[in-house]
Structure 1
Amino acid sequence: MDDNALLERVRAKLADLPEGQTHSDIASIVRQETAGVVSDVRMLDLLRRVREESVGAGILDRLLRGAGVSDVLVAAPDRVWVDRGEGLALTDVVFSGEEEVRSLAVRLAGRCGRRLDDAQPWADGHIPGGIAGRGVRVHAVLSPPSGTGTQISLRVLRPARRGLEDLERAGLFPAEVHAVLADIVRAQLSFIVAGGTGAGKTTLLAAMLSQVPEEQRILCIEDTPELEPEHPHVVKLVTRAANLEGAGAIGQQELVRQALRMRPDRIVVGEIRGGEVVDLLAALNTGHRGGAGTIHANRAGDVVARFEALGLIGGLDREALHSQLASAVQVVLVVQRSSGVRRLAEIGVIVGVPPRIVTAWSVEGGAGEGWPLLQDLLRG
């Protein structure tokens, strides 16, 4: 009997066992199914595979445990990719077939409390600390609608708790910029960290929040808990997806409203991606200085357009969005990743109505025309 067929029979018997089964229970079932003819080496391998399938990510476990791994992507049974910070690389991991990939996708979705089947062929969720000792964000799409088989995307959620000193040593920005970033927080300027996927937005945001005075209360609103600033008074509000009946969803927009009633000194949105932008801008315009968040935009010049698009989702027209944004946010920080290297590429100042972003500092040119404007803001 090949191992895959044996595992199927072991799984079927395990399903009938009460919770809390031990390795000896599993080993006994394996021996029954093989008439006792199984080597110690094969037994250990089967026990490992059963354990991984029960509590881990199956054959993807070792990839998720790898040093520096941020993403694991399954594009086909024999096409498993990993990102270690230097772009995607094909691995030697191979599934037995589409059925095994689909089975893993369904199980991971179930661990997130999500439904994944032909009637609901995609799922998005979060497993807190349950794989490789770290939280993992899970997204899966079945076929159809995927035209190339079941797709699994796993993002390793490493807590963002490095300080500005750590990021300076890592080369994200030079020493003279370190002082400017600390001053932005000290002056309670509201700022947005912009960049592409994996550029280091959350890492920089958490480092800057670590500079907030200890007597101030920070309210962090996130889809998945990643922000871990070194600060004694951080309150986290995390969104919740709908349950299997389609009820109970809690979005970022509602959490921003709740945060306003919790006596915040600083309101932070881990990733601004929808209608919550309206409530956030309103909060920043009504006395809650020093707020922050991240947004997907590859260049400083794209940030205003991105806010316009999100404002429309929240029912805020372009003109109203412009007036709110110009008075609510003062600074934009743009981070980029190129050839695996992350860096703070630009610091911009938002001015005027309609708002535009004037470069105060860039990695290529140093101080720009917006530098005096930034200095005025820092002086208060």
Structure 2
Amino acid sequence: EDDNLEEVMYNGGAQCVKVAHRDHGMCRTNVWVDDQQGIEISKNIAAFTSVPLGDGPGMVPIFDGRLPDGSRVNGTIPPVSPDGPTLTIRKFREDPLTMIDLIKFGTVNLRLAAMMWVWIEGLDSRPANFVIAGGTGSGKTTTLNCLGMYIPWHKRLLTVEDTAELQVYHDHWLRMETRRERPDGTPAVDMNDCLKSSLRMRPDRIIVGEVRSSEAATLLTAMNTGHDGSFGSLHANTAMETITRMINPPMNVPPIMLTGLDLIIIQARLHVNGKTARKITEVAEVAGMEGDKPRLNAIWKYNAATDTIEETGIPSKMRETICKAAGITPAQFEQYVTQREQILADLIRRDIRDIETVTKVIQSFYASR
């Protein structure tokens, strides 16, 4: 019931269950599980995912899936995990975090939160295409979910995920989820299959939960052929590493296609004042090509001395792109950012942070213009 509980882990053998807590980090519990109990629990959980867990014919020793409450689960049994059955459950928040929470946590500051609002909205002219990258547990999916609140409700939103985790509060949302190959030979439906299908559903915005393979090229094709305002997440620790991962196997995105990507947002899990904190540490723009490689400009960088992310002073290509598409001046662009800063600041002042109310405030703002 504790929404600050992030993951529940059992490592096999006669061990206690461990949990990852947002405030207290990794904790031991007083719950002990032996091998037989672990196998029975694993089989019961696997039943929710329609996976025949076992080591015999037509069975599998590894499973991934989603529990009825939305929590993501991974499990294994011997011989894959020789020390006994294992379980890792990433808990699904019943009360999803919002951009207001991320500002309060210090993940992002008020100005960048407002700037990202303008990028995603695009002032009804040219929304940004971007990826959020970071390591495991850096909070990429949470930030992706929070940014989804900025998508106008009159836009058809389509999400593609390996395991459905996004909790976007949106009026025109279609979700797609992959399927593994089944022991009976039923073929898999992978991310690329889902993404290709989604492009035939007239999406205005596309979110890919985690880019890993050939779907990267399909997503970049969408970005380059009119599906502006699309975004996804992937595992990388810097903007340059993100580019390197995308142009090499298994993603194999042709470098020239990366010019359809406007922004790379890097998020990391840091230790600040003895506590674990998630921080956006870099925002870089794909500013063009230098020979056969994309050129990156870091327009925001995390400053450890001030514990906040700051603008670097490098002129923003995305600002120029939106100004040109919307027919406004840079000064007017700043006014739009300030206006959205004031809305977010007012929500913080009034301690309004739940996903439904925050999203409705944003959508009411769109409707009032």
TM-score range, shorter chain: 0.7 to 0.9
Following the alignment from structure 2 to structure 1, what is the Cα–Cα distance between the partners of residues 63 and 145? 28
Match of 2:64 in 1: 124
Aligned partners of 2:10 and 2:88 also within 8 Å: yes
Q: CA deviation at 1:116?
A: 1.5
2:38 matches 1:98: no
SS at 1:348 equivalent: strand
* TM-score (normalizing by structure 1): 0.74
Q: CA deviation at 1:147?
A: 2.9
1:285 corresponds, among 209, 224, 237, to 224
Q: Which amino acid aligns with 1:81?
A: K
Q: CA deviation at 1:293?
A: 0.5
Following the alignment from structure 2 to structure 1, what is the Cα–Cα distance between the partners of residues 301 and 42? 43
Aligned residue-pair number = 303
Aligned partners of 1:162 and 1:229 also within 8 Å: no
SS at 1:93 equivalent: strand
Aligned partners of 1:136 and 1:154 also within 8 Å: yes
Q: Deviations over 1:145-177 (max 9, x none)?
A: 223222111111226854433322332211121
Match of 1:196 in 2: 135
Match of 2:105 in 1: 170
Match of 2:27 in 1: 89
Aligned partners of 2:3 and 2:93 also within 8 Å: no
Following the alignment from structure 1 to structure 2, what is the Cα–Cα distance between the partners of residues 374 and 284? 15
Match of 2:267 in 1: 335
1:28-177 alignment runs, 5 A limit: 65-76=1-12, 77-85=14-22, 86-95=24-33, 97-119=34-56, 120-129=60-69, 135-158=70-93, 161-177=96-112
Match of 1:269 in 2: 208
Q: CA deviation at 1:228?
A: 2.1
Q: CA deviation at 1:245?
A: 0.6
- What is the percentage of aligned positions where both structures have the same residue? 28
SS at 1:350 equivalent: strand
Following the alignment from structure 1 to structure 2, what is the Cα–Cα distance between the partners of residues 159 and 303? 31
SS at 1:303 equivalent: helix
Aligned partners of 2:162 and 2:209 also within 8 Å: yes
2:258 matches 1:321: no
Q: CA deviation at 1:369?
A: 5.4
Match of 1:45 in 2: none
SS at 1:213 equivalent: coil
Following the alignment from structure 1 to structure 2, what is the Cα–Cα distance between the partners of residues 284 and 360? 21
Aligned partners of 2:121 and 2:151 also within 8 Å: yes
Following the alignment from structure 1 to structure 2, what is the Cα–Cα distance between the partners of residues 141 and 370? 48
Following the alignment from structure 2 to structure 1, what is the Cα–Cα distance between the partners of residues 91 and 133? 20
Aligned partners of 1:195 and 1:336 also within 8 Å: yes
Q: CA deviation at 1:282?
A: 1.0
2:251 matches 1:307: no
Q: Whose RCO is larger (CA < 8 A, sep 6+)?
A: 2
Following the alignment from structure 1 to structure 2, what is the Cα–Cα distance between the partners of residues 104 and 280? 38
Aligned partners of 1:266 and 1:291 also within 8 Å: yes
Following the alignment from structure 2 to structure 1, what is the Cα–Cα distance between the partners of residues 77 and 169? 40
Match of 1:215 in 2: 154
Match of 1:379 in 2: 323
Q: Deviations over 1:258-282 (max 9, x none)?
A: 1111111111101111221121111
Q: CA RMSD in A?
A: 2.0
Q: Deviations over 1:296-335 (max 9, x none)?
A: 11222311122124xx335x4xxx621111x221101111
Following the alignment from structure 2 to structure 1, what is the Cα–Cα distance between the partners of residues 220 and 318? 20
* TM-score (normalizing by structure 2): 0.76
SS at 1:302 equivalent: helix
2:179 corresponds, among 240, 248, 251, to 240
Following the alignment from structure 1 to structure 2, what is the Cα–Cα distance between the partners of residues 211 and 245? 42
2:115 matches 1:180: yes
Q: CA deviation at 1:379?
A: 2.2
Change (3 A) 1:160 1:212: farther
Aligned partners of 1:361 and 1:371 also within 8 Å: no
Unpaired runs of 5+ residues, structure 2, are: 304-308, 325-369
SS at 2:68 equivalent: strand
2:287 matches 1:351: yes
Unpaired runs of 5+ residues, structure 1, are: 1-64, 130-134
Change (3 A) 1:221 1:379: same
Change (3 A) 1:267 1:369: same
Of structures 1 and 2, the larger Rg is shown by 1
